[in-house]
Amino acid sequence: MVEKVYEGKLTAQGYRFGIVVARFNEFITSKLLGGAKDALLRHGAEQENIEIAWVPGAFEIPLIVEEMAASKKYDAIITLGCVIRGATTHYDYVCNEVAKGVASASVRHRLPVMFGVITTENIEQAIERAGTKAGNKGYEVAVGAIEMASLQRELLG
């Protein structure tokens, strides 16, 4: 008797993806978006199955995630943002609320919602994660979205 193992496949064909991207630090988030779109298309997603919503800043991401999830139009949602620490504690509040909002929406709606919001101490760290020496976080979480959507479909049958 061999144990049953569930593992998502990395083919995006036929899956529907919503992307919520923050405009704040757009010089970074636009690179994350490019990486996410590249990942989805190169893994077989159809252009018409990718929908993108722009929000002012990361703090606004959870609301639009909620709207997208409630619509039941998507098999996975990808969130993208870049929060860079400033001189005050504002950073902590933004990061905490975004992370909590994304995670709770995912569980509440039983929908893969990927956390692609980079939270960094400085601009250099953000640049490293937007397509230079630390890869592209947007590409990374988009591949994760494909795997999670596939895994959920395999589990639920």
Ligand X SMILES: CC(=O)[C@@H](O)COP(=O)(O)O
For ligand X (CB under 6 A), the number of binding residues is: 8
Q: For binding to ligand LW54GNZ2 (CB under 6 A), which residues are involved? A: 22, 24-25, 56-60, 81-84, 94
DSSP string, the chain: -PPP-----S--TT--EEEEEE-TTHHHHHHHHHHHHHHHHHTT--GGGEEEEEESSGGGHHHHHHHHHHHT--SEEEEEEEEE--SSTHHHHHHHHHHHHHHHHHHHHT--EEEEEEEESSHHHHHHTEEETTEEHHHHHHHHHHHHHHHHHHHH-
- x/- map, 41-80, ligand X, by CB under 6 A: ----------------------------------------
Indicate the annotated binding residues.
24, 58-60, 82-84, 87-88, 115, 129
Q: Spot the catalytic one: 42, 73, 90, 100.
A: 90
43 an active-site residue? no
So which residues are the catalytic ones? Answer: 90
Where do contacts with ligand X occur on this chain (CB under 6 A)?
83-84, 86-88, 90-91, 94
